[in-house]
Structure 1
Amino acid sequence: MSSITDGFKDVFMAGIGAMALGAEKSKELVDQLIEKGELTVDQGQAISADLIDRATQTAGKTAVSVRDDLIAAHLATLSKDERDAFAAKVAEMAAAANEKDAAMNAQADEVEAVISDEVVADADAKAGVPPIE
């Protein structure tokens, strides 16, 4: 299973790299146009800022799109039984992640309760209220 995820990771990283390279080349082009006087510095800065914003927005969308495309491509290579096994494994992993999240949330709630109790006890002590036992 790790070889599949390594392949997904490699393709995903290649997509991000290609997008970064495109943004870098676009910035170089804008810099060249400014140098030749075909654009003013202010226009160039505005275009560069716009390119950076678009690349940042696209990166988030592209990451999800690339991931979904990779999963779809992988599923297309599997038989029905393999797809069912894959879906079961993903469901198992999601359940484990949900349990972990629930345990962490419960632990955070416990810590919050202890801190809250300590704050109340400290405030009561400062106000001269005797503790409840």
Structure 2
Amino acid sequence: MSNLSDDLKKAFLFGVGAIAKTSEKSKKLIDELIERGALTVEQGKTLNEELKHNLQEKIIEKEKELNSDLISQIKDMKNLSDEDIKILKDKIAEIEKEKNEK
């Protein structure tokens, strides 16, 4: 169960990172087009704002997907065996111990 949560988190972070990288590259391209005169500064600002808005929408969408997956996992916990529940409790105790040590 823990590995699935970790995988979901990694997938989410990968998605956010990819979106951020794309945004950075797009902004650089827009800046280059402005420099060459292919775009006006105002057009560049408009495109940049659209990119930021799209980035925010994608991040919200990814967060919703992650939350949906986590809710599904929680619902699936009803079907856990006693051994799975023990493993989960042990993992929670381990995480709590690590947090308290910090």
**TM-score where L is the length of structure 2:** 0.63
CA contact (8 A) 2:23 2:51 kept: yes
Q: Which has the higher contact order (CA 8 A, sep 6+)?
A: 2
CA distance in 1 between counterparts of 2:40 and 2:21 reads 24
**1:1-133 equivalences in 2 (<5 Å):** 1-65=1-65, 67=66, 71=69, 86-88=76-78
Larger Rg: 1
User: Superposition RMSD on alpha carbons, in Å?
Assistant: 2.7
**TM-score where L is the length of structure 1:** 0.49
CA distance in 1 between counterparts of 2:78 and 2:38 reads 58
CA distance in 2 between counterparts of 1:89 and 1:58 reads 33
CA distance in 2 between counterparts of 1:27 and 1:7 reads 30
Aligned length: 77
Counting aligned pairs with the same residue, the percent is: 32
CA distance in 2 between counterparts of 1:21 and 1:10 reads 16
Report deviation, 1:58. 2.1
Unpaired stretches in structure 1, ≥5 consecutive residues:
76-82, 91-133
Secondary structure (helix, strand or coil) at the match of 1:38 reads coil
CA distance in 1 between counterparts of 2:7 and 2:37 reads 45
Question: Structure 1 residues 89 and 49 mapped into 2: Cα distance closer, same or farther (>3 Å)?
Answer: farther
Unpaired stretches in structure 2, ≥5 consecutive residues:
81-102
CA distance in 2 between counterparts of 1:62 and 1:31 reads 28
CA distance in 2 between counterparts of 1:87 and 1:53 reads 36
